[in-house]
Amino acid sequence: MSVAILLLVLAAIFFSAGYLAPSHPLQYRSRAGFFVCLALAGFVAYFAWREVRTLGELTELIDPVPGITDVTYIPTSTEAEAVSQFMAAVPGRGRLGTTREERRSLAEQVSERRTEYWLVNTTLRSDAVFTFYRDAASRKGWRVETDNPPWLYLIRGSGTLVLFVADDVPRPGSRILYGFSAVEG
């Protein structure tokens, strides 16, 4: 969130230099800087807000493992599409490493499935994580399709939940990537 605040401060400085200061050679760049910083602050603030909600979203699907030390939000396919479309709208070549057409093509390659990901660090070792999810009470109705460490593949209705569990070497504990996918409709 502090990055969003910094970007808002920079946007205010660029606004002042671009719109309130007397005319100068960098005035148009300051105006562009204002809009870029404002857009980036919006993205950063949105993702910071989503980071706060991450554990709650995961808890709606399945019981998270005990001993969680850190949770990371990973953008959904819809959010990735929105960012890709924003990038596709940026004119010019080389600014984002691709041409405008390549960015637009990237934006169109988003799946029709709703996908969400969460990355969790826990104090449990990977074998303890698998033991936790082998208990049906921890799975909230998910059926184990594949239990082949480091993967755990669960199914419920039209949804799938895939867990990739890896020991967090050299620190004690493990990292779990939860991947949820469901057909939209």
Q: How far apart are CA 80 and CA 151, in angstroms?
A: 25
Asked if the model's pLDDT at residue 4 lies above 90, the reply is no
Asked if the model's pLDDT at residue 9 lies above 50, the reply is yes
Q: What is the mean pLDDT of residues 16-43?
A: 87
Are the C-beta atoms of residues 66 and 132 closer than 8 Å to each other? Answer: yes
**Secondary structure of residue 155 in the 3-state scheme:** strand
Where are the domains positioned within the chain? 1-47
Which segment, 34-38, 68-72, 162-166, is predicted with the most confidence on average? 162-166
Give the pLDDT score at 139.
93
pTM equals 0.65
Give the pLDDT confidence of 67-115 residue by residue, as tens digits: 999 888 887 767 777 766 666 665 554 444 556 566 555 555 544 456 7
Report the candidate in 177, 86, 67 with the shortest Cα–Cα distance to residue 128: 67
